Amino acid sequence: MKKIRYAIAGSAGRMGRTLVEAVLKDETASLSATLEHSASPFLGKDAGELFGMPCGVLITDDIVGALKNADCLIDFTRPEATLVHLEHCQSQGVSLIIGTTGFNAAEKQAIENAAQKISVVFAPNMAVGVNAVFKLLSVAAKILNTGYDVEVIEAHHRHKVDAPSGTALRMGEVVANALGQDLSECAIYGRQGHTGERPATQIGFSTIRGGDIVGDHTVLFAGEGERIEITHKSASRMSYALGALRAGRFLADKPHGLFDMQDVLGLK
């Protein structure tokens, strides 16, 4: 089997280092390049040395050179950086796996347009367990479609810059779709003051930021006399990295198209 050649964006960050480690340990993968921004103090350093596993691949800010020998770029950075990488992937015919969150509607459309030329997996959470939860939420929402209030609670580390998390928003979308609702019309993000009685169709979001929490998500269905909670807790970023590599294997024979992890896992 030919190994998939990966370039990793944001390779010196917390998620980037985990992705590099996952690629180096995967027999189906090889590390072709590691990227950082032009002001990074890690430029020129061995990407594996950052976590005690030297690999001979030096961190660069040259996106064109980094993609030259890559089959796929994995990007868990920021929207502004991902969109630049998206353009280069299009011009160089490189597949793209996007774990970045916080895109607006126009930026999501740009990703969809690019997928007409290259293959893209775009998902708010790459962990296999989280995507199993998405499926469970759809089933639960259809069963608990009357008499249950829905609340989404998420917690992440203090460094996360967007809220609610992309995963929490996707959970809300899954529930809303199953109930025949539009999340943009029924979501409320936090409550304060005299809010009045809770509307039956409302989906509430609560956000916690603190410490080194990797990522906790709970969807609460609260009814009369009972509560159902569906929870996923991440103890390590490795679950996201392993899901990204699974997405890379899925894209190996896809010349173009926009996919998510439900496609990758065959859950649609």
pLDDT in tens, 85-108: 999 999 999 999 999 988 999 999
User: What would the mean pLDDT of 53-66 be, rounded to a whole number?
Assistant: 96
Report the pLDDT averaged over residues 11-31: 96
As a whole-number percent, the residues of the chain with pLDDT over 90 amount to 95
Cβ count within 10 A of residue 204:
18
pLDDT band of 268, cuts 50, 70, 90: confident
Length of the chain: 268
Residue 117 has pLDDT above 70, yes or no: yes
Residue type, 165: S
CA distance 92 to 192: 49
Residue of 160, 217, 232, 254 marked active site: 160
Paired tokens of 125: 């959470």
194 noted as active-site residue: no
For residue 1, the model assigns a pLDDT of 67
Contact status, residue 160 vs residue 207, Cβ threshold 8 Å: no
Domains of the chain are 4-122+237-264 (3.40.50.720), 128-234 (3.30.360.10)
* Residue 98 contacts residue 122 (beta carbons within 8 Å): yes
Average pLDDT, the chain: 96
Q: What is the model's pTM?
A: 0.85
The pLDDT of residue 267 is 87
99: helix, coil or strand? Answer: coil
**Mean pLDDT computed over 66-78:** 97
Tokens in use for 230? 């569906």
pLDDT at 234 over 90: yes
DSSP lists the bridge partners of residue 59 as: 34
Distance CA(131)–CA(128), nearest Å, equals 5
CB 126 within 8 A of CB 99: yes
Q: Which of 85, 156, 217, 232 is catalytic?
A: 156
Closest to 165 (Cα-Cα) out of 127, 209, 134: 209
Question: What is d(CA 27, CA 36) in angstroms, rounded to the nearest whole number?
Answer: 25
| Active site annotation includes 160 | yes
